[in-house]
Amino acid sequence: MKRVVMGILFLVVAASIAHAGFRVPPGVYRIGSLKDAKTRAKKTKRPITFVYTDVETTCPLCVDASLDAMKSLKLRTVVVYAHASNDRDSLPGIVQDALKSSESGRYIPKTVIVDADIKRVIAVIPYAREKRDRSKLFRAAMRKF
């Protein structure tokens, strides 16, 4: 009986974690607040990073990579989260074009860094599975500004 209860408890916990996705970290704007993000970027003289991903994903690799991008890049940029299924049409054209490029890769998260005026793409960062590979990509992108 004890094994059955423990097994059921494990399944309930595992299911809730698998469907939980993740929360957008504090200090990260959502696409609906792009105007505020742009104002902050201009005021602080920082570029804007668009992290195109899905907070509802059940893929732990995507969750890790998405949170890593948001947390790592918000130190030097203004970060905006865009939902991969719902927000594509809300993105500025220059960001949409960058996301369609081969440079952005096939999998989410896809990350695009633009100037504060959203006129010039500074860097496109594709998904990388390993943290050390992501760190290299983030450092290379940050050397561009």
What are 94-120's pLDDT values in tens digits? 999 999 999 999 999 999 999 999 999
Please state the domain extents for the chain: 22-142
> pTM of the predicted model, to two decimals?
0.85
pLDDT at 15 over 90: no
Q: Give percent of the chain above pLDDT 90.
A: 85
pLDDT at 21: 81
Tell which residue, 33, 49, 52, has the closest CA to residue 116: 49
The pLDDT of residue 9 is above 90? no
Exposure letters 47-86 (e unless 16+ CB within 10 A, then b): bbbbbbbbbebeeeebbbbbbbbbebbbebbbbbbbbbee
Statement: 22-142 belongs to CATH 3.40.30.10: yes
